[in-house]
Structure formats: structure tokens, C-alpha cells
Structure 1
Amino acid sequence: MNLLGQTYYGNTLQDWLTALAVVIALALLLYFAKRLVIARLAAWAQKTETRLDDCVVEILAGTRFLFLLIIAFYFGLQYLELPPKPTRLITHFTVIALLLQAAMWGNRGIVLWLDDYLKRNRETDAAGATTVSVLGFIARVALWSILLLMILDNLGFNITALVASLGIGGVAVALATQNILGDIFASLSIAIDKPFVIGDFIVVDDILGNVEYIGLKTTRLRSLGGEQIVFSNTDLLKSRIRNYKRMYERRVVFSFGVVYQTPHEKLKSVPVMVREIIEGLEKTRFDRAHFKEYGDSSLNFEVVYFVQDPDYNIYMDIQQCINLSLFEGFAREGIEFAYPTRTLYLHRETGVVHG
């Protein structure tokens, strides 16, 4: 009796062995072809300066061997005579595998492009980098949503009716998850309107820090104390935000006092001295210096100037230089700084001292 001629499920053993050989041979052929193509493309990509060919290599490198095996399995079964129902199932399964692999290629491409853009533009265009991060997530969600609909359509579901039913159910889901959806829409508002971007120094109420991360639900600051502060995006946009990174210059007002015994001519020279000190420094713009008022124990001056750099450390260095120069100039001119004093009153009858 011929063993190879025996029939199993409508096909001879020889047909089954032939199909198995085709599956194994085609799977190995596709695997080595993938490696060869990737190696050739990688060698070619190293000779170019563009990033596109490197991305193509990395995308193709994400091709799963299981996907190649499914393709080989599909073509191997073409040598067999199978009933209509198993044939349809195999076809649906192969199409789903193809769609999943295509979605993985697309997802990998989006991630690679996003990472490359952020590396190149995070320092020079932080606002654009923030927007691209959010849009990249939306693109990935849209990609997998389209994939799910295509898979359901391939399985025979009525997509039109499904989308309509999802619209009704979506209202209920939206009501149940309105806080989460509110944070997501707030993140889109941050990405589009850009009230702040990663790297900005902001103050929210009495909390201040550098923006470290902007996500779909939360934004995180790194405070001056070192701890991380997490805000929900909705609450953050409801607050009044002061963005110091976008401050082109800093207005500084400071006061000091001199003693009442200061001669008139010395008193008149104080604003001139202050002006010369400030105008002699870099990154400063003098505004005014005035003898403001008669204080309880001092003659008070008020000075206004601008630091033409938003950096706080630069401002403090300039203010320190002004203070030291004033101290030196007053010592040279014989002008004394006033200091707080208390007046003591002696009660005539009781002899009790009151401050």
C-alpha cells in the first residue's frame, strides 16, 4: 500500500508534506531575505547624511518572524484542497496578521520620527517639541483605531452600525470619564496655545519650578527644592501662570535710606551716583533714582532699573554689584546709611519707658 497516497482531510499525505516543505522553505527564505535587505540598506544608509533611510532600516528591522511564518503558512496551504470555511478563516487570519504588522511598522515609524524630532528641536524649539509630542500620541491612537476597524471589517462586522453604537455609548463613557477627557483636551490646549513649554520656569499660585514633562493628563514641575510637583492639566490651566522664561527683561525696584544729618549737596549727589553705577554695568537699563520721602529715621531713596536678561542669577549678580558700589561710594563721600531706630518715651509721672 502506498503510504504517500493515503488521504487525510481530503488531501494525500504527499500533498501535506509538500505544503509543509513549502511553508518551511518560504519562511526561511523570507527570514534570510529580510536580513539581507536590512544589511544592504544599513550599509547604504551609513553613506548618506539623511535620517530617512536610517528610519526605514529600523522600521524593517521590526518585522516579526511570526508574521513571516504566517505568510509562508498561507502560501503553503495553497497546495491543499481545503473546505471553504477553513479557507476563509485562514485568509482572515493572514489579513489580520498583515494589518497588525503594517500597524507595527507605522507605529515604529511615528515613534522614530518623534524621537528624532525631539532630539533635534527640544533645545531650539521647545514649543514645537511639546506640540509634536502630543500630536505623535494622537497619530498613534488614530493608527491603532483604524487598524481595529479594519480588522472588524475583515471579520464581517458592520462597521457603520458599530460606529453608530459606539457614538451612543461614547456619550456615556464621556460623562463617566469627563475629568480624564478634560485633562486630555487641556493637554491639547497646552500643545496648541503654548502658554509654557518644556524647560520654562513658571510660577503657579505660590508654587514655582521648571517644566519637566507635559503629558496627556498631568504636567510636572521640578521645584527649586528638588522635588517634583505634579499638576493635572485642567487644574493648571484654571490657575494664573507666570512664565518667567518669556520675560525679556526684569524690572527692579529697590530702596535705601541715609541719615538725616546728610548735607544738602551730598543728598543731591546720591541719584547721580546711583545712575552712574547702573549705567556702567552691562545688561542694565537705568530708569530713575529719586529722593522719595522723609522716613521715620531716614531720608529714603527709590531706584528703578531694568536687567536686560531674564536669568535670576544675572539679576542677583548685578544687584550685588550695585550694592557694593553704593557702599564704596558712600564711604568715599562720607554719606552714612540709615538704620532702623526706636524712639523711647519716658512717662513723666510713672517713669515707665515706652518704645
Structure 2
Amino acid sequence: MENWLSAHRLQLIFLNQTFWINSAIIVFGTLMMYWLLRTLIRFVSNRIAHYSEQRNHRVTTLLVEILRTTSQPLLLIFSLLIALRFVDLPASWSVTIAHGWFLAFILQMTMWIDCGIRLWLQSLLRDPLHVRNPVTTVILGILLRVVVWVMMMLAILSNMGINITALVASLGVGGIAIALAIQTVLSDVFASLAIGFDKPFEHGDFIVFGDVAGSIEHIGLKTTRLRSLSGEQIVCSNTILLQQTIHNYKRMQQRRIVFKFGINYATPAEKVRQIGSMVKEIIQDVPDTRFDRAHFLAFDESQLTFEVVYFVLSAEYNKYMDIQQEINLQLMAQLEQKQIRFAFPMRRVEFTGGVLPRINLSDASNESSPQTAQR
């Protein structure tokens, strides 16, 4: 009997003229709205693309790419929900349609944000002016995308009437337990993110920390690898590396050089007075240098000491060595021309309180002659 009633009701529905009219309105309205929405999105994206080509704005370029990735199935669902507004529906359907609007909207927004994050990170990696760590960029992208999709799922569950408080609390407790279990790995991961954001060094930089010196070859998720001057690869934990005092020599714009030399104590005072100006002329004639000072510093044990300070206007170490070599050679030539001798270690011994024994050199030579003959 119940089956007969259900079949009779279905027969009445299919024979009802209003049902077919409403169905035709929904189908025709869905197709029209789908065409209008696609045309509107294409028009807006083309206008923004034209504006972006004229102004060369990165944000507008990203916006165009995001609009062009709009989901076509979701666009069709939006069109259907709009078409349902044109017909009279039972009051019980209003809640379902409202949920459908929210689900379609939140899903499309999440897809747009996810696409925007991916395109933004790709543009950062392709930027020729700022070389970024790809590992840090990938980690940042994964974290942002996970947060976006988790927020979307929680919003959907909340909209469906599910209490998400207990779920969020359980996720927090589980996250704390996992973090405690892998805290060493996480510390290195966050250290890698800190290196990527703060940029104390980048790929190719020459750094020195502790007794380690080398060029950065790779900044990874857990470790950073350097190539030392002697050729071997040095692997260091990111966390330990950030705890060190790091000297980054690649970012040095100029070198401050201090060197000393000594001359003989027998040099007259007048010639000593000329040495400072002579050194100044030598350094000023060498390219890529800036003279600071040259002074007669001290009376040391076996020399008159001069201290010279100048700047090399380049961070390249080999260039500094070439400049220092040229200064040394010219300094030797100028001192030789002025007959000023470099000092060398000397020690004078005075004998007091007695008489030195006399040495007869002829006797010493006679004593050594038989030995020489025997040999």
C-alpha cells in the first residue's frame, strides 16, 4: 500500500506542469548564469592583465592568475544556486541552500588563497634581485597552505553544526606531544626559517665562525653545508650555527688594513720624519685604496716601529693581497733609494766584573792542522 502511494505521488509530480516549468527555469537559468559568470571573470581578468602590462605590478599579475584558476565545477554550482532563486521552493530547502552557498564560497576562497600562496612563492624564487633560500620558501609555503586548508575544514564543520572546540583542543594536545617528540628536528627547521627570513648569510657567502671558515653551498631543512678553504665539506646544524658569532666576509664593502714595519736605530731623525709622508704617497698612488694614517709608533727592542692604516675599497681577498704586495715593494724601493735600512733583530751583550780570556788564533789554527791532515 505504501509503495503504491509513493508511486502515485511520483506520478503526480511528473505529470505536474509546474514541476517541468520550474525544472526548465532552473536548467536555463543555471546555463545563463554560468555563461554570465564566466564572461564576467574573463572580462575582469583581461582588464586587470591589460593594466598590469602597462604598470608592471606584481600584485595585479598574481590577481589575474588567481582569477583564471577559478574552479569551473564550483562556478556551475554557484550558477545553480542563483537559478534556484527564480523558483518557489519549500521552506525546508532554505537551510540546505544556505549551507550550499557557504560550502561553495569557502571552498572557492580557499582555492584562490592556496593558488595565491603558490604563485607568490614562485615569484619570490624567480626574483633575480633577491636570491632566496628555496628550502625556506618551500617550508613557508607548506605551512601557510596547511593553515589555510585546516581553517577551511574547521569553518565547514562549524557551519554544519559540529562543535569544533573539542577537536581544536585535541589537535592542540596532539601537536604539543608531537613537538616534544621531535623538538630537536623542529628547532633546526625553525632555525632554517630564521636563516631564510633574517638572512645572516646566503648561498655563496664566505663566513667564519669559531674555527670554521668556508663558503655556503647549501642551506637545508636541518643542516647548512659549507666548503672550506682546504676543500672538504663542513656540515653544521642550523640551530648550532645560529648560536655562533658569524663573520660574513662577502658583505664587507671595504677592508681596513693595519700593518707595521721597523727601521734601523741608526737612521737619522730627519729621515725618520720623511717616512710618514713617503708612505702616504705610495698608498695614494695605488688604485682602489684610501689612505688613513702613517705614524712613527714606538721605540721597540731592535727597531723604530711605524704603524700604517689604510682601506682597500674592495672585499676581494686576492685584490687586497695584490695591493699589499705592491705597497711593500714600493716601500722597499723608496727606503733603499733614501738609504734607510730595515731593522733586523739585534742583541748587544756587555761583559762586566772581570776580564775576558785572550784567544790566540794562531795556536787554534795549529791545533786544528794535524786533525785536518788526518782527515
Q: TM-score, normalised by structure 1?
A: 0.65
1:208 aligns with 2:214: yes
Inter-partner Cα distance in structure 1 for 2:11 and 2:296: 104
Structure 2 partner of 1:122: 130
Give the 3 Å change call, closer, same or farther, for CA 193–47 of structure 1 in structure 2: closer
Give the Å deviation of 1:325: 1.6
Give the Å deviation of 1:186: 2.9
Give the 3 Å change call, closer, same or farther, for CA 325–71 of structure 1 in structure 2: same
RMSD: 5.1
Inter-partner Cα distance in structure 2 for 1:225 and 1:69: 64
Give 5+ residue unaligned stretches, structure 1: 1-5, 341-347
1:173 aligns with 2:162: no
Give the Å deviation of 1:175: 0.7
2:309 aligned residue (305, 308, 316):
305
Secondary structure in structure 2 of the residue aligned to 1:203: strand
Structure 1 partner of 2:158: 153
Structure 2 partner of 1:183: 188
1:42 aligns with 2:45: no
Give the Å deviation of 1:178: 0.7
Residue 284 of structure 2 contacts residue 290 of structure 2 at CA under 8 Å; is this kept in 1?
Answer: no
Inter-partner Cα distance in structure 1 for 2:306 and 2:139: 48
Give the Å deviation of 1:234: 1.0
Give the Å deviation of 1:92: 5.0
Secondary structure in structure 2 of the residue aligned to 1:264: coil
1:58 aligns with 2:61: no
Give the Å deviation of 1:243: 2.7
Inter-partner Cα distance in structure 2 for 1:274 and 1:321: 12
Residue 257 of structure 1 contacts residue 337 of structure 1 at CA under 8 Å; is this kept in 2?
Answer: yes
Greater Cα offset, 38-47 or 192-201: 192-201
Inter-partner Cα distance in structure 2 for 1:136 and 1:287: 55
Inter-partner Cα distance in structure 2 for 1:11 and 1:226: 84
- The size of the alignment, in residue pairs, is 325
Residue 285 of structure 1 contacts residue 306 of structure 1 at CA under 8 Å; is this kept in 2?
Answer: yes
Give 5+ residue unaligned stretches, structure 2: 1-8, 346-366
Inter-partner Cα distance in structure 1 for 2:184 and 2:42: 48
Within 5 Å, which residues of 2 pair with 1:1-355?
A: 7=10, 14=20, 19-20=26-27, 22-48=29-55, 50-75=57-82, 88=96, 92=99, 95-110=102-117, 119=127, 122=130, 142-187=147-192, 189-190=194-195, 195-196=200-201, 201-205=206-210, 206-209=212-215, 231-245=236-250, 247=252, 250-254=255-259, 264-265=267-268, 268=272, 273-278=278-283, 280-281=285-286, 282-286=289-293, 288=295, 290=297, 303-307=307-311, 309=313, 311-313=315-317, 314-334=319-339
Inter-partner Cα distance in structure 1 for 2:13 and 2:304: 107
Aligned-residue sequence identity (percent) comes to 39
Give the Å deviation of 1:157: 3.0
Secondary structure in structure 1 of the residue aligned to 2:279: helix
Inter-partner Cα distance in structure 2 for 1:221 and 1:194: 16
Q: TM-score, normalised by structure 2?
A: 0.62
Give the 3 Å change call, closer, same or farther, for CA 174–134 of structure 1 in structure 2: closer
- Cα deviation 1:73-131 (Å, max 9, x = unaligned): 5456776979979x84x8656633432321232344455566667849738xx9xxxx9
Structure 1 partner of 2:360: none
Give the 3 Å change call, closer, same or farther, for CA 8–145 of structure 1 in structure 2: farther
Secondary structure in structure 2 of the residue aligned to 1:122: coil
Give the 3 Å change call, closer, same or farther, for CA 306–191 of structure 1 in structure 2: farther
Residue 202 of structure 1 contacts residue 209 of structure 1 at CA under 8 Å; is this kept in 2?
Answer: yes
Inter-partner Cα distance in structure 2 for 1:226 and 1:58: 46
Secondary structure in structure 2 of the residue aligned to 1:240: coil
Amino acid in structure 1 at the alignment position of 2:213: I
Give the Å deviation of 1:150: 1.4
Amino acid in structure 1 at the alignment position of 2:45: I
Give the Å deviation of 1:311: 1.0
Inter-partner Cα distance in structure 2 for 1:218 and 1:22: 59
Inter-partner Cα distance in structure 2 for 1:154 and 1:264: 95
Give the 3 Å change call, closer, same or farther, for CA 336–304 of structure 1 in structure 2: closer
Inter-partner Cα distance in structure 2 for 1:223 and 1:8: 85
